[in-house]
Structure 1
Amino acid sequence: MLSSFNDYIVAFNQEAYLPSLTGIGRGIEREALRVLPEGKLSDKPHAYDIGSALTHPNITTDYSETLLEFITPVSFTPETAIAQLQDIQKFTLKQIDGELLWPLSMPCFVNDADKIPLAQYGTSNIGRMKNTYRQGLKNRYGSMMQVIAGIHFNFSFPKDFWKNLQAFEQNSDNLDEFISERYFALIRNYKRFCWLIPYLYGSSPVICSSFLQNKPQQLPFKRSDSGYLYLEHATSLRMSDLGYTNSAQSELHICYNSLDGYVAGVQEAIGLSSDEFAEIGVKVNGEYRQLNSNILQIENELYAPIRPKRVAKSGEKPSEALKSRGVEYIEVRALDINPFVDTGISLEQVYFLDIFLTYCALLPSPELDAAAQKVYEGNMDEVVVRGRDPELILHDGGREKSLPQWGNEIFEGLSQVAALLDKANNSDKYRKSVTDELAKINDASLTPSARLVDLVVNQGESLTKFALTSAGNYRKLQLDNGYQFYDEGTFVASVAKSHQEQAEIEASDELSYDDFLKEYFAK
């Protein structure tokens, strides 16, 4: 029976087992603000010619009408995933009348956050529910937090990978239960090491001062000569208390030791009332201010750097899908928009994420109690605001380590995984990815966050000018390039189909909106 990381590396290196490492599934969700050429948010509604935001499979909106979200289907090579994303962006750019896609996670200049328009999804009950949910987010956290953009990376191993792993361990459990158990083991290791993601890829150390909307905050910002706020050693302000966090959720202690424990924790949180949110009111003078006054309106409100996922059936809640059919894939949510590439995530990043997540799957993963989980979350909190500080100390199972020290230890294992994946895929791209990322561990000036601080602080460049120049260049690049995976006709047909599907949903509603919500939450 095999049980150690090195055992698994040796076992998968055998010719009979290498093919099970070639069927990794990947999907990318990229968010991007629509902005005008002068650097302000677009005031136009979601373009009809890119389809219904409610039903289009590849092009939708997130919080705001101006915050686009591009979704690739599952693909089985990194190159395909990036090509699909480029095609989706190309089609979108052709339809949005000269608007640009903002290439940063933190938003452009916003004069008045109250004027950020909520996303609209039509008159159906489910469309109205999506809008009410966003109204609740606005009333709970403010609009500025909701127009921060990020990358979500969806990842799954082929079934043969899990069958081989189960055979190595001589495990006789039900395969679906084994897969769920091992995905949660992967998630626990991800939580131990996830500070690596903002360190290597964090690209939001600088913000436009309008983001604060004159509200007090605790971070010790400095101001560049060009007028931008920054933290000298920050990596990802998007992942800090300024961005995607929720103080009300900090005491939830969602458990990642088992599927049952996780689902129970999430479902409990959905029903947990909040005195703070109750003060907002739910339905006031006939208008909904939020879906309910609980800590989570719905499960999507749970902010986490990684989530276990299962494609849900129509009307099925995410936790119900997980409970009934197990974990299908994981969603990595700690990635900033990469401003140095047109897609917001580079091909090289996809290669590294393959390595990192496979490492997390093969490494032994003891259960995490609440105290240990808080320690690892503390590492993440430190790295996002001062990850490039040479004095930074991280905590690993009771041991204090510098970031370069711990990083080099982790990269010893990542190098073995990279060699394994290269052997399986007959390539050298994984080893090159590890070499490039290890260089950042040993030289913080190579990180994208350091490059942006240098640009704005040392070179005196305008962050807005950099973003708009990049956005304009990316727009031209994508419009000039031909389609790689899709074609124009496919997108045109999908737009028409999405509008037809929205109309059918609206026509099929039989309940009033009030009764629809009652029935939804009664389940």
Structure 2
Amino acid sequence: MTQANEVRPETVRLLLQGKMGIEIEEHRVDQQRHSLSQFDHPSQLGDRRKQPYFQTDFSESMEELITAPHRRLVGIMNQLHSLQQLLNEQLHPTEIIWPFSMPPRLEATDVQFLEQTFKREWYQGYRDLLLAKYGPFRHIMCGIHVSYSPAGAVVQWYQQQQGIADPIKAKNQLLFQITQQLVGFRWLLTYLYGASPLDENQTEPHEPIRSIRASRNGFANLPDVHINYDTLEGFIQEQAAAIQTGQLFAPSEFYGPVRLKGGNDLNTILQTGIEYLELRVLDDDPFALDGIQLSTLKFIRLLIIAGILFPHEWNHTTLTEAAKFNQRVAEARPTDPLPSELQKRAQELIDQLQAVVVVLPEASGWQAALNLVQQQISDPLQTTAARLATHIHNHSLLEFGFMVGKRRKEQREQETLTQQFPDIDKTLIPQYRYLTQVGVPFTVTAPTLLTLPNNTADPFKVTPKTTLATLQVRYQQKDKR
């Protein structure tokens, strides 16, 4: 196992290779009705059966914004900002984007509308099952999912380090090692970024806590579902068994802190290979314009690197203990400090991360993110939940939520085109806007160049000279095929 004083700069730079992406869930809320919007999902955002960037979830008001995988974290944030802008442009005049994971208060008529209105008919059966099993409230909690996939060079390095002959096995083992790291330190992510202190639709908890969503009463499976992260094989087998017995409908119904993605067949995933992992524990950040801070992504990336360089001996005992720690932290008051034992563990982790940060390119930005975490560990009043708790009035965040949502909407409307689309030259924004709204996958190769995947070795390139008519014809022809 690598020691903190043995970290090589070239190794850390290598481990930075890989891609991350974000999926953020957020509600459209009607300011006139003071509840979830009953307007349709914007038709200008494309066909949800195939849209890679804009989807909806359990309710028609529950938007999902999905970035492409990016090598650079700032690339994720820039695309997310542009997606938020495009969604904002399609909002009804009375609509805002709700800044919290927990929805506003729903009246009986709102719940009835929620239960009866669902316009993705291709998912209707699955949605009906979830509604009957979990009720109307659990699945309208919003959150952020962060995906990660290592680059081939990272897998090769790990393969050599571990002496594994099969590259698929090496990648599977690497991703599960990182998964255990994220699950084992979930309590720290809950402490730092928990931001769902109360539920406007339930009488409990009576007092604000750090994160309802991250607790056992939040976005979780029923108590009879037990999927452990002890071993990779056991993790896969327990999911398959739960599906076979009817405890779970499909892998998509597993609501653990981390999912492993790679095809739809659990029986063959170890042979075909895990493609990426998905961390699912983050609340929406009410203090971030786009719902998450760049510093949060940086800390998660550092946690991933530490999971590769400094692997813990995770087993059933230590992972069970970590789950109990997370429940304890989630149900604590927003202003409570970490228990002394967890402060010690957090500090040991920070020391490891510090050894990584000092050898990173552009170290100052990473250092600032780590310094913020250090400050929050030392002072719980700087955590997201504690800051949010100061805005609770009469056991409600409604007033603050509408103020933040309205302010964000106005801010987006006042931004310049360059601010709204930070990765794109102004001359290419119409093409960028069209491809994103229609739902055509592409890569931002340069500020004046978008690259669309093609069946041939010669991808289609979009420049400011590419007319919208050309793109419309191309997309329509693709639709007809």
Same fold (TM over 0.5): yes
Report if aligned partners of 1:183, 1:361 keep a CA contact under 8 Å in 2. Answer: no
Secondary structure, aligned partner of 1:240: coil
SS state at 1:386 partner = coil
Structure 1, 152-161 or 75-84: larger mean CA deviation: 152-161
Q: Secondary structure at the match of 1:32?
A: strand
- Deviation, 1:494, is 4.8
- 1:58 corresponds to which residue? 53
1:307 aligned to 2:299? no
Contact 2:337–2:380 (CA<8 Å) still a contact in 1? no
Q: What is the CA distance between 1:262 and its match in structure 2?
A: 2.3
Q: How many residues align?
A: 437
Q: Secondary structure at the match of 2:137?
A: helix
- In the TM superposition, what are the counterparts of 1:124-163 in structure 2 within 5 Å? 127=122, 130-163=123-156
Query: Which residue, 100, 105, 110 being the options, matches 2:106?
Result: 110
Counterparts of 2:362 and 2:328, CA distance in 1? 38
Deviation, 1:134, is 1.3
Contact 1:188-1:257 within 8 A present in 2 as well: no
User: For the residues of structure 2 that align with 1:199 and 1:81, how far apart are their CA atoms?
Assistant: 24
What does residue 96 of structure 1 align with? Answer: 91
Residues 483-492 or 37-46, more deviating: 483-492
The SS at the match of 2:77 is helix
Counterpart of 2:358 in 1: which secondary structure? Answer: helix
Shift of 1:452: 1.5
Q: Determine the structure 2 residue equivalent to 1:402.
A: 341
What amino acid maps onto 2:43 in structure 1? Y
SS of residue paired to 1:237: coil
TM-score, normalization: structure 1?
Answer: 0.77
Q: Quick one: distance in 2 between partners of 1:247 and 1:462? A: 27
- 8 Å contact from structure 1 (residues 309, 318) kept in 2: no
What CA distance in whole angstroms lies between the structure 2 residues aligned with 1:18 and 1:245?
35
Residue 484, structure 1, aligned to residue 430, structure 2: no
What secondary structure does 2:213 align onto?
helix
**How far, CA to CA, are the matches of 1:469 and 1:63 in structure 2?**
25
Contact 1:52/1:495 (8 A) holds in 2: no
Q: Give the Å deviation of 1:407.
A: 1.7
- Which has the bigger relative contact order, CA under 8 A and spacing at least 6? 1
| 1:329 counterpart residue number | 276
Partner of 2:293: 346
Structure 1's 131 and 507: CA in aligned 2 closer, same or farther, altered over 3 A?
farther
Structure 1 Cα separation of the partners of residues 307 and 286 of structure 2: 27
* Partner of residue 364, structure 1: 311
Cα distance in 2 for partners of 1:325, 1:491 equals 36
Are the equivalent residues in 2 in contact too, given 1:186–1:365 (CA < 8 A)? Answer: no
- Residues 305, 264 of structure 1: CA spacing in aligned structure 2 closer, same or farther, 3 A cutoff? same
State yes or no: 1:206 paired with 2:198: yes
> 2:331 aligned to 362, 385, 402, which one?
385
User: For 1:449 and 1:496, how far apart are their aligned partners in 2?
Assistant: 37
SS at match of 1:296: coil
1:18-68 CA distances to partner (integer Å, 9 max, x unpaired)?
Answer: 542342311000101011124311111222111122211100001111100
The answer (yes or no) to whether the contact 1:53–1:60 under 8 Å persists in 2 is: yes
Query: What residue identity is the alignment partner of 2:242?
Result: A
Deviation, 1:150, is 0.3
Stretches of structure 1 that go unaligned for 5 or more consecutive residues are: 223-230, 273-293, 394-400, 509-523
CA distance in 1: counterparts of 2:144 and 2:224, whole angstroms: 22
The Cα of 1:336 is off from its aligned counterpart by: 0.3
| In structure 2, distance between residues paired with 1:496 and 1:505 | 12
Matched, 1:178 2:176: no
Q: In structure 2, give the amino acid aligned to 1:47.
A: P
Q: Contact conserved, 2:230 with 2:319, CA < 8 A, in 1?
A: no
User: What CA distance in whole angstroms lies between the structure 2 residues aligned with 1:493 and 1:412?
Assistant: 44
From 5, 9, 12, the equivalent of 1:13 is 9
Q: Distance in 1 between matches of 2:169 and 2:401?
A: 46
> CA–CA distance in 1 between the matches of 2:236 and 2:61?
33
Q: Distance in 1 between matches of 2:75 and 2:192?
A: 23
CA gap 1:361/1:53 in 2 versus in 1, 3 angstroms: same
Identity %: 22
Shift in CA distance, 415/497, structure 1 to aligned 2, threshold 3 Å: closer
Q: Is the 8 A contact 2:51 2:438 kept in 1?
A: no
Gap runs ≥5 in structure 2: 441-471
Structure 2 letter corresponding to 1:42: S
Query: 1:470 and 2:404 equivalent?
Result: yes
CA distance in 1: counterparts of 2:372 and 2:49, whole angstroms: 40
* Residues 23/480 of structure 1: CA separation in 2 closer, same or farther (3 Å cut): farther
1:282-297 map, 5 Å: 294-297=246-249
Cα distance change, pair 168–298 in 1 and its aligned pair in 2 (3 A) = closer
Partner residue, 1:72: 67
Rounded to whole Å, the distance in 2 between the matches of 1:21 and 1:391 is 32
Q: For the residues of structure 2 that align with 1:95 and 1:504, how far apart are their CA atoms?
A: 26
